[in-house]
Structure 1
């Protein structure tokens, strides 16, 4: 074998070794999937998701479903083949690990952080909803119970559920109009709706569980449209009041916001 051939063989072996190493080396990414959804107007594990005391509540129809994603854990090893597969599938998403787990270095720390965010989200949702219907937290107590879910992204749907149980559309009808409506979005005590991430996967989870309408933070319209399931209608929102008005318009045939305008 000539010296040139030997050099080429060595180089080829080194390139192959690097490729093999790259293929099987763990990378700082997580793979996310459509997660569970839950009807905030219904029960979860035998308990009402929303319990209100101190005020009369309405019997509701239809569903308001919060949505979620699930992802490989912070300690899971994600390799190049996993990422390539995720890039080509519509029901998976490759996300930087720090975007999925921005706080905490282990499962326990992350779970506690997510639980704290959920508690804060529930408090904000309660304040926003009571403010929207002109009720005082001094007179009305709201308990929100949803197991195995963390983070702040259910805030909008919690708030809508409280509004529906207390006031409906304000004219004796349900906010849902009997539909299965899903959505996502953080919420402040003042009723401002914020972005959450993972929206394309959440629309798929919503479609899987029977929703035909999806409430999305307006800033995430483009993301939501990327892998939108056939037949799913997007309604962008920026505030709780805007979401309520949009659902009323959906029932009456009025002008409903869309991601195109």
Structure 2
């Protein structure tokens, strides 16, 4: 083989290997960047982002935008380098977004729960500002959860472990103060009648040391 051709082939081999490796092998990073922006005073696919029932609502105009964060996962080397060089995306260790002991579905469920909690906090702040009464109702009961057979959908929670509660966060704090296996009294109202039930706590999936 001609020496020049042999030299050229030898030089191209590492380039080809790098190209294949960079486009096939994934890196342990995820990219975080701007996601869709929603106008909370408008609608998405014809459905109002914020819907208020049971009272008159004044017309609104303008924009009150909610920003979101997009997560890009399973990046190859070239994609990660491209995001890093662009300056528009931030690279973080993948385990910070998807902990190794949780599936993507579990992470999404946790994110959804956090979002719903933030919605509840916003609603609570608005109700307090308007000096309106606040109550916490049960919207779902896990069939195999500690509250199964004790609470029903529609029950109004009054206190957990003797502590008055009006938000889901307050319930979570009262439960987290106990250990798995502890018994916890729940005061609630059903069909206008006050009741008290007792549940035996299980372990939290994200922290087995807490109820």
Higher RCO (C-alpha under 8 Å, 6+ residues apart): 1
Larger radius of gyration: 2
